[in-house]
Structure 1
Amino acid sequence: MAVPELRTRPRTVEPFAEAEYPEHPYPGARPDCSFVHLDGVGYPLLPDPTTTSGWRVRTGSGTEPCLDAWLVEHGAAPLRRRRPVLAYGSNACPEKVGWLRENLDLTGPAVVLRAECSGLSAVWSSGLRPRDGQRPAVLAATSGVTEQHTLWYATAEQRRVLDRCEGRGKRYRLVRLHDSTAIELENGQTPDRVLAYTAAVREMAPLLVNGSVVRCAELGQQQALGLRGEPATGDGLACSEIVGEPSAA
Structure 2
Amino acid sequence: MVAPHFRTDSTVVEPFRDAEYPENPYPGARPDCSFVHVDGTGYPVLPDGTAPSGWRVVTDTERPCLNHWLATRGATPLHRRRPVLAYGSNVCPEKISWLRSELGLAGPAVVLRASCIDMAAVWSAGLRPRDGQRPAVLASAPGTVEQHAVWYATAQQRRVLDRCEGRGRRYRLVRLHRSHPVRLDDGTEPERLLAYTAADRGMTPLLVDGAPVRCSEVEQYGALALDGTPAVGDGLRCTEIVGEPAPR
Which stretch shows the higher mean deviation, 107-116 or 182-191? 182-191
Tell me the CA shift for residue 6 of structure 1.
3.2
Cα distance in structure 1, aligned partners of 2:195 and 2:142? 18
TM-score (norm 1): 0.97
CA contact (8 A) 1:205 1:232 kept: yes
Cα distance in structure 2, aligned partners of 1:91 and 1:219? 19
Counting only pairs closer than 5 Å after superposition, residues 63-74 of structure 1 correspond to structure 2 as 63-74=62-73
Gaps of 5+ in 2: none
Tell me the CA shift for residue 11 of structure 1.
1.1
Q: Secondary structure at the match of 1:144?
A: strand
Specify the code of the residue in structure 1 equivalent to 2:50. Answer: T
Q: Secondary structure at the match of 2:106?
A: coil
Cα distance in structure 1, aligned partners of 2:132 and 2:8? 24
Q: Secondary structure at the match of 2:6?
A: coil
* Corresponding residue of 1:204: 203
* Corresponding residue of 1:110: 109
Specify the code of the residue in structure 2 equivalent to 1:14. Answer: E
Tell me the CA shift for residue 9 of structure 1.
3.7
CA contact (8 A) 1:8 1:31 kept: no
Cα distance in structure 2, aligned partners of 1:56 and 1:74? 15
Structure 1 segments (4+ residues) deviating >3 Å: 5-9
Tell me the CA shift for residue 54 of structure 1.
0.9
1:188 maps onto 2:221 in alignment: no
Tell me the CA shift for residue 53 of structure 1.
1.2
Specify the code of the residue in structure 1 equivalent to 2:246. Answer: S
* Corresponding residue of 1:157: 156
**Alpha-carbon distance change, 55 to 6 in structure 1, aligned in 2, over 3 angstroms:** same
Cα distance in structure 2, aligned partners of 1:73 and 1:156? 20
* Corresponding residue of 1:11: 11
Q: Secondary structure at the match of 1:101?
A: helix
Counting only pairs closer than 5 Å after superposition, residues 45-56 of structure 1 correspond to structure 2 as 45-56=45-56
Counting only pairs closer than 5 Å after superposition, residues 1-249 of structure 1 correspond to structure 2 as 2-7=2-7, 9-61=9-61, 63-179=62-178, 182-248=181-247
Specify the code of the residue in structure 1 equivalent to 2:127. Answer: L
Q: Secondary structure at the match of 1:19?
A: helix
**Alpha-carbon distance change, 226 to 181 in structure 1, aligned in 2, over 3 angstroms:** closer
Specify the code of the residue in structure 1 equivalent to 2:17. Answer: A
Cα distance in structure 2, aligned partners of 1:96 and 1:64? 26
CA contact (8 A) 1:6 1:28 kept: no
Specify the code of the residue in structure 1 equivalent to 2:140. Answer: A
**Alpha-carbon distance change, 128 to 222 in structure 1, aligned in 2, over 3 angstroms:** same
Deviations 1:95-132 (A, max 9, x none): 00000001000010000000001011000000100000
Q: CA RMSD in A?
A: 1.2
Which stretch shows the higher mean deviation, 173-182 or 82-91? 173-182
CA contact (8 A) 1:128 1:134 kept: yes
Cα distance in structure 1, aligned partners of 2:101 and 2:2? 30
Gaps of 5+ in 1: none
